[in-house]
Structure 1
Amino acid sequence: MKKEITFAGFGGQGVLTMGLFLANAGMSEKKKVSYVPAYGAEMRGGTANCTVIISDKEISSPVVAYPEIVVAMNHPSLEKFEPKVKKGGLLLVNKSLVKREVERNDITSLMIPTQELASEAGLARGSNMVMLGALLHLNNIINNENIHDYLIKTFKGKYLDKMPLNMATIEAGMKYVKEFKEKNIAV
């Protein structure tokens, strides 16, 4: 198993946190992991993206030109990374901020209303956790039964009071995708 995932958005959306979560989860499961964050000089509002590779075998290079999975949290990220999704890959898009549809028909795409789902779950700034839940439901990247433990490792003791809300928000993303699939709409 080898998964190459790019998370992209602007600073403050939790893009790097999603990647760090997957990297920590992969290491906890004794997999080979590469995590490469990239961000602009701005504290918030600048570009941010990261690439995560999780594999059962050695990773020869952390560079990924055409990821299998892309999570686009804003319009500029969709514009930049939609062309780079590997043919047959998956593109998850934050429908709350991106108003155009995905143009490619050789990949699977899903528009997710992350802000609305996060607010309903009680964590208005949890769009990234909704997207993470959707991704985890769609792919067998990590053991989903250990999500809570991986969150604690990712946040390293900070925000422990938010763990129930983070879990609820992840579960909202999982539930959204599950219900979407049950409606017999191809994902």
Structure 2
Amino acid sequence: MTNEILLAGFGGQGILFMGKMLAYFGLYENKEVSWLPSYGPEMRGGTCNCSVCVSDDPIGSPLVDTPNTLIVMNTPSYDKFIGSVVPGGTVIIDSTLVDAKCDRTDINVYYVPATALANEHDMKGLANIILVGKLLKELT
């Protein structure tokens, strides 16, 4: 089984860190993994996404064009990637920052107010960890 994961948002939201965490979780489970970051030249605030593949078999390419798992932390990323998720895939949306409601019925969509939850509990900057937790809950 191969899980192709795409994580997307703005720089500074911990997108690449989420990807590293998921890659390490895969390594811990003795899976084949790849981690491929993509970001603009800005230090913070620019676009950012990360492809992670976790598989029982060798991975031919680290690029994820049609993810079966997508986490989005901003509206531009939602708009760009929601159509690429394979039928039956899982999408986790930070509903604090993304107002869009998905009209696709062939995927599983979860709205998590991760940024609001992190801020309410004085854990500013840890919304990404909340989203990874939701993903792990849904995948296990």
Shift in Å, 1:62? 1.4
Give the RMSD, CA atoms, in angstroms: 1.1
- How many residues are treated as equivalent by the alignment? 140
TM-score w.r.t. length of structure 1: 0.72
Q: Is 1:46 the equivalent of 2:46?
A: yes
The alpha-carbon deviation at position 132 of structure 1 amounts to 0.6
- Name 1:164's counterpart in structure 2: none
Match of 1:169 in 2: none
Gap regions ≥5 residues in structure 1? 141-187
Aligned counterpart, 2:28 = 28
Counterpart of 1:57 in structure 2 is: 57
**Match of 1:74, as an amino acid?**
N
For structure 2, which runs of at least 5 residues remain unmatched after alignment? none
SS for the counterpart of 2:87 is coil
Query: Which amino acid in the other structure matches residue 61 of structure 2?
Result: S
Q: What SS does the corresponding residue of 2:137 show, helix, strand or coil?
A: helix
Q: TM-score, normalised by structure 2?
A: 0.95
Q: State the identity as a percent.
A: 44
Please, which moves more after superposition, 2-11 or 116-125?
116-125
Distance 2:101 2:63 in 1: 28
Corresponding position of 2:85: 85
The aligned counterpart of 1:172 is none
> Which structure has the higher relative contact order (CA within 8 Å, separation 6+)?
2
> Which amino acid in the other structure matches residue 9 of structure 1?
G
- Judging by fraction of residues, say which structure has more strand: 2
In 2, Cα distance between equivalents of 1:32 and 1:108: 25
Give the structure 1 partner of residue 2 of structure 2. 2
Distance 1:34 1:110 in 2: 25
Q: Deviation string for 1:16-49 (max 9, x for gaps)?
A: 1000001112122221001110000000000000
Matched to 2:19, the amino acid is G
